[in-house]
Amino acid sequence: MTGSIIANKGFIKTYGTAHDSSGNLILDANVLAAWGGLQSLGQGLGMLSMHFVADRFGRKVAFFSLWLALLGGVCCESFGRIWQTWLVAKLLSGYGVGSVQFLTSTYITEIVPSRARGFLLLFYSIWYAVGQLFASAALKILANTQPYNYLDLIYTEWAMLGIMLGVYFYIPESPWWCANHDKDERGRAIVARLNGGIEGYNVDFHYEIIKRTVERERAISKALHGESLGFWQDVWATREIFMGVNGVRRGSTEIAGFADPFLFSLLLAICAIIVTVLQALTTDLVGRRTLFLGSVVVTWVVLLIVGGMGLIPNKSAALNKLVVFFALVWRMSSTATGNLGWSYVAETGSSRLRAKTAGFSAAGGVCVGVLFSTTVPYMLNANYANWGLKTCFFFAGISFPLCVASFFVMPDTSKRTPAELDEMFEKKIRPWRFRAYVTDAQRALQAERERTGETDAAQLQNNMVGKA
């Protein structure tokens, strides 16, 4: 919402400090650059620091900490009336958003079964799109009825903070965090709360899997295991930034030449919701790697197409409609790429270092995002470079090497447990072979099934526990 609101007339009247060639009040590109840069800086700080809280004090304490940062940001947005106040708001909100982005996916990975993990990791992203949909719809309504009213929309953020606080009080601590800190009784109680009501579910067996995975990871070199996984996720994080997902997506529609930025943002939000739902339903069937690489290719090709349209002088109404169509296609493919990127960040880190690798990996992209958050306004602003749609050429060019690299470094983590992923990373299995690889645990389970003739999963678990 805070990205799209900069096109609101009341917002411009309150915070505008410059004038265009016609003498109309506008937001200064320097101010926009400072806001964008500080928000990206806040995101990076959250990703680089919140994992210390999450690892030391628990996931729930980290959630409450980021909530306080968001509270401070909303206070500045609600009561500040000078553009400098929004510098603080952007920094605090960026810190909270950066923290919640990696921490939520990490938490989901740790509490849901591996078979449902892919769906939930992607489906939770729909709430980001729903939030943008509501914000865009509200901005469109206000633009038509009360064009100088922007505060009502900001005040709705207080309701969201209240909902978040209730959720954070309700959710349990992560059993993986309990296992890492030898709080085994608490960990078993949490596993029982989450899944104990399932018929045939063996709480001790499943917590023992968590515990043994943690113990094995403790024997692996922290430098080798953690840094290796974090490096590849840095590759993803910077790739998404280079393709313009964070640099051009929000708040730039008006200065890029779209007549109704609120309606355009509304269409983008609807596309994001549709693609997120479809992606969540198909990710385990098709595979993470296939969906990721497909969306990367589509995003890059659309950047070239839209950039080429920017070269055409005196654009007709039909051409503008075509630009909107490809912009919506770009939105869908880039949303798919971003959703899967956060899924990779959460899934590929070892349990002992998951919060750290997720935070550092996401922060790698944000560090580059600070650069583009401060430069993209100059690329689009009519008083500076005024590239317009040709900005897409810039992102297509710098993203090409990273798009190619994605084919060689992005694995398929669908339906894999943390222990299975650890095994494949340790054995240096090629990323394109992850989906078909048979792990030691799968071989042992199949051998037990053939030896006993037992097909019931719960009974096989009990047999394995007895042998152990």
pLDDT, position 95:
92
pLDDT, position 256:
42
* Sign of the CA dihedral with 421 first, then 426, 431, and 433 last: negative
Contact by Cβ (8 Å): 244, 307: no
Residues 6+ apart with CB under 8 A from 428: none
The closest of 127, 155, 143 to 263, measured between CA atoms, is 143
pLDDT, position 321:
80
Reported as half-sphere exposure (CB side, CA atoms, 13 A), residue 342 has a value of: 28
pLDDT, position 462:
62
Spelled out in words, what is the top-level CATH class assigned to the domain 4-437? mainly alpha
Contact by Cβ (8 Å): 195, 206: yes
**What is the DSSP annotation of 376-439?**
HHHHH-TTTT--GGGHHHHHHHHHHHHHHHHHHH----TT--HHHHHHHHHTT--GGGTTTPPP
Please write the tens of the pLDDT for every residue from 373-403: 677 777 877 677 788 888 889 999 999 998 9
pLDDT, position 465:
56
Looking at this protein, which amino acid is placed at residue 438?
A: V
Residue ranges of the chain whose pLDDT lies below 50: 221-257
pLDDT, position 318:
80
**Both tokens assigned to 30:** 């320097």
pLDDT, position 302:
92
The closest of 38, 36, 17 to 27, measured between CA atoms, is 17
The closest of 134, 145, 67 to 100, measured between CA atoms, is 67
pTM of this structure = 0.69
* Domains in the chain: boundaries: 4-437
Give alpha helix (H) positions in 156-221: 157-170, 175-180, 184-195, 203-218
For tokens 């100088």, name the residue. 148
Please classify residue 35 by burial: count the beta carbons closer than 10 Å to its beta carbon, then call 0-12 exposed, 13-18 middle and 19+ buried: buried
> What are the phi and psi torsion angles at 18 (to 5°)?
-135, 175
pLDDT, position 186:
94
For tokens 């880190």, name the residue. 349
The closest of 245, 346, 329 to 294, measured between CA atoms, is 329
Looking at this protein, which amino acid is placed at residue 225?
A: H
Please write the tens of the pLDDT for every residue from 132-157: 788 888 888 888 888 888 888 899 89
Contact by Cβ (8 Å): 360, 236: no
Distance CA 90, CA 41 (A): 9
pLDDT, position 169:
95
Distance CA 245, CA 193 (A): 39
